[in-house]
Amino acid sequence: MTTPTFVRDIMWKKVDIVDSKCTVLSALNDMQHKKTKMLIVDKSHDYDEYGVVLIADIATKVIAKNRALDRVNVYEIMTKPSVSVTSDMDVKYCARLLSHFDLSRCPVIDNGKIVGVISQTSIVFNGLRPE
């Protein structure tokens, strides 16, 4: 039996969190500046859930519908609650979960707090190849 690789070993720890009331234009500028394809949408209160907004959401729900980037708020197009994993999950199960829901990435949440982001790309390049 080999020692598993855990999500915490390969997740991206730099997390980009935005407020749900910010405009899509602001979120898009944030994404471009940080070179990311997903932003985490913060909880509005302690009993709320995190959401996510993807580049694809902006393309399909705003641009394709000819809506103004500066007149649409993130909460209007986000996915909430988001599918998430914990940092102590084996990456092979994380890969299966992402594949099952047809996701390229998702937040990593421990004890109700965002601790990172995991993607299929990081699993393939960093999680499953032998050293």
Query: Which residue ranges make up each domain of the chain?
Result: 7-127
Model confidence at 116: pLDDT above 90: yes
Tokens of 101: 């829901």
What phi and psi, each to the nearest 5 degrees, are found at residue 24?
A: -65, -35
Question: What CATH number is given for 7-127 in this structure?
Answer: 3.10.580.10
The pLDDT value given to residue 1: 66
d(Cα 42, Cα 116) in Å, to the nearest integer?
13
The pLDDT value given to residue 110: 97
Cα 44–Cα 120–Cα 51 angle in degrees, nearest 5: 10
* Tens-place pLDDT, residues 39-76: 999 999 999 999 999 999 999 999 999 999 999 999 99
Contact 24, 74 (CB under 8 A): yes
Select from 31, 83, 33 the least CA-distant residue to 58.
31
